[in-house]
A and B are shown apart, each in its own frame.
Chain A
Amino acid sequence: MATDQHSVELVDDDVVKPFARAAVLAALMGAAVFVGSIPIPFSPIPISLGVIVVYLAGLYLGPYWGAFSLLLYLTAGAVGLPIFAERASGLGVLVGNSAGYLWSYPTAALLIGAVVHRLSEDGDPADLSRPVLVVTLLAALTVIYLLGAAWLGYVLELSTVKAIEIGVVPFIPGDLIKIAAVVAIVEAERIAT
């Protein structure tokens, strides 16, 4: 049999499951750009599911697999799957104007996952109290804004104030709604860890 000449090294069963979840979540993140977004009142920018998946990756996959899931999303988009905003793709996007936001995603998931990992029994985000959850998500959002606006300012030679005007302010209402939605998801306790 084949296994005689070559020693097959099976991927451990307890790696396969989180890996499969991370991969499928990366695909969900990508699928979100295809299904229309939800318009919200008083904001020019509609809600897309995207960043919600970033939060959920950190919450339900933990720091490492959550971050891995989003790195995988970045990799898949870089090599040509049409999964960045407005179905864009390509390595250039990862150094382009929105690169800071994209690279902040794995970082944000890592941060959220680390909090869940430290504060919950066995990685179940439902163990977190609501204030802790909200603060964690806001901290992650801050990381996203910081990295996003900083790179935007750097690569387009904009001052800090202007980078914030164009890259943060318009998104605030939608992002707060998403955080509220994520809190509701966690509290519903319907996603198995």
Chain B
Amino acid sequence: MIEFRSVSHAFDDVPVLEDVSLSIDAGEFVLLAGANGSGKTTLLRHSNGLLEPDSGEVLVDGTPVAEDLIAARSSVGMVFQHPRDQFVAATVGEDIAFGPENLGLDRAEIDRRVTAALETVNMAGREDERIDALSGGEQSRVAIAGALAMEPTHLVLDEPFTGLDAPARRSVLERLASLSADGTGVLLATHDLRDVCELADRVIAMHDGRVAVDGPPADALAELDGLEVRVPDTTRC
């Protein structure tokens, strides 16, 4: 479980998060919506200690993040917006191995995790391919596999769909849904709810650094007016 307890954060005295409290349970699929600049990315970066709150506290599976960064970062797998900039190696397999190597696992275990992570994102057997030669959708999936290889209890994704077409979005989303069905908590930031919200258990919307809406998709949708979040035209949620 990831818990934010009254988290506040300011950049250069400009408040960006104000007294945010929420929690994400294991196996939950939660959407984090909100307009540009509403504080989604900032919130996510508190979940694994990339940022420290000015006040308040973040706990991962009961342990304060600040107390055990290694536990927080191996329990919370993070996927950023620009996959190109987060790969550390030139080939798929080497990149996915990076996290497990940092945990000091032995080589056989690392290989097992790389294989398993690639299977989970539907890219089995493509370890030796060059990352640059992959399509945008495939790169997103490799980025997710890199996070999964840490065997996290939660997956936190910051707009992983930039530049993906509808089928690619769809396939990544379905992977995420099945991961959450298998017990991984998923927190997905986006300002575009098209075809995402029917898969989610909960929608949280940020507005000016505060949680404006938090509830099941169907209820949350009705409250999103004025928050500049793109809502599906059909009521598929």
Q: Is B69 in contact with A10, judged by CB distance below 8 angstroms?
A: yes
Q: B38 contacts which chain A residues (CB < 8 A)?
A: none
Q: Is B104 in contact with A2, judged by CB distance below 8 angstroms?
A: yes
Instruction: Tell me if B74 counts as interface (CB < 8 A to partner A).
Output: yes
Q: B100 contacts which chain A residues (CB < 8 A)?
A: 2
Instruction: Tell me if A190 counts as interface (CB < 8 A to partner B).
Output: no
Interface size class of B (residues with CB under 8 A): under 10
Instruction: Tell me if A8 counts as interface (CB < 8 A to partner B).
Output: yes
Q: A3 contacts which chain B residues (CB < 8 A)?
A: 70-71, 74, 103
For window 64-79 of B, CB contacts with A under 8 Å fall at 69-71, 74
Instruction: Tell me if A6 counts as interface (CB < 8 A to partner B).
Output: yes
Instruction: Tell me if A135 counts as interface (CB < 8 A to partner B).
Output: no
Alpha-carbon gap, A5 to B106, bound state (A)? 11
Q: When each residue 24-39 of chain B gets 1 if its CB lies under 8 Å from chain A and 0 otherwise, what string results?
A: 0000000000000000
Instruction: Tell me if B10 counts as interface (CB < 8 A to partner A).
Output: no
Instruction: Tell me if B124 counts as interface (CB < 8 A to partner A).
Output: no
Alpha-carbon gap, A106 to B103, bound state (A)? 33
For window 1-31 of A, CB contacts with B under 8 Å fall at 1-3, 5-6, 8, 10
Q: Using CB atoms and an 8 Å cutoff, list the residues of chain B in contact with chain A.
A: 69-71, 74, 100, 102-105
Interchain nearest-CB distance for A193 vs B (Å) = 16
Query: Nearest B residue to A8 by beta-carbon distance?
Result: B70
Interchain nearest-CB distance for B10 vs A (Å) = 19
Q: List 21 A-B contacts (CB under 8 A).
A: A1-B71, A1-B74, A2-B74, A2-B100, A2-B103, A2-B104, A2-B105, A3-B70, A3-B71, A3-B74, A3-B103, A5-B104, A6-B103, A6-B104, A6-B105, A8-B70, A8-B102, A8-B103, A8-B104, A10-B69, A10-B70
Q: B102 contacts which chain A residues (CB < 8 A)?
A: 8
| B interface, over-half SS | helix
Alpha-carbon gap, A171 to B100, bound state (A)? 48
Q: A10 contacts which chain B residues (CB < 8 A)?
A: 69-70
Q: A8 contacts which chain B residues (CB < 8 A)?
A: 70, 102-104
Q: Give me the 6 closest cross-chain CB pairs, A-B, nearest first.
A: A6-B104, A2-B103, A8-B70, A3-B70, A2-B105, A8-B104
Q: B104 contacts which chain A residues (CB < 8 A)?
A: 2, 5-6, 8
Q: A6 contacts which chain B residues (CB < 8 A)?
A: 103-105
Alpha-carbon gap, A8 to B73, bound state (A)? 12
Alpha-carbon gap, A167 to B100, bound state (A)? 48
Q: When each residue 115-141 of chain A gets 1 if its CB lies under 8 Å from chain B and 0 otherwise, what string results?
A: 000000000000000000000000000
Interchain nearest-CB distance for A28 vs B (Å) = 14
Q: When each residue 138-165 of chain A gets 1 if its CB lies under 8 Å from chain B and 0 otherwise, what string results?
A: 0000000000000000000000000000
Alpha-carbon gap, A10 to B69, bound state (A)? 9
Interchain nearest-CB distance for B60 vs A (Å) = 12
Interchain nearest-CB distance for A61 vs B (Å) = 19
Alpha-carbon gap, A118 to B120, bound state (A)? 52
Q: B103 contacts which chain A residues (CB < 8 A)?
A: 2-3, 6, 8
Query: Nearest B residue to A23 by beta-carbon distance?
Result: B88
Q: A2 contacts which chain B residues (CB < 8 A)?
A: 74, 100, 103-105
Query: Nearest B residue to A7 by beta-carbon distance?
Result: B104
Interchain nearest-CB distance for A152 vs B (Å) = 34
Interface centre among A6, A8, A10 (most CB of B within 10 A): A8
Alpha-carbon gap, A3 to B102, bound state (A)? 10
Q: B71 contacts which chain A residues (CB < 8 A)?
A: 1, 3
Alpha-carbon gap, A103 to B102, bound state (A)? 32
Query: Nearest A residue to B73 by beta-carbon distance?
Result: A10
Alpha-carbon gap, A3 to B105, bound state (A)? 9
Interchain nearest-CB distance for A60 vs B (Å) = 19
Alpha-carbon gap, A145 to B120, bound state (A)? 55
Alpha-carbon gap, A2 to B106, bound state (A)? 10
Alpha-carbon gap, A158 to B112, bound state (A)? 58
Alpha-carbon gap, A10 to B74, bound state (A)? 12
Q: B70 contacts which chain A residues (CB < 8 A)?
A: 3, 8, 10
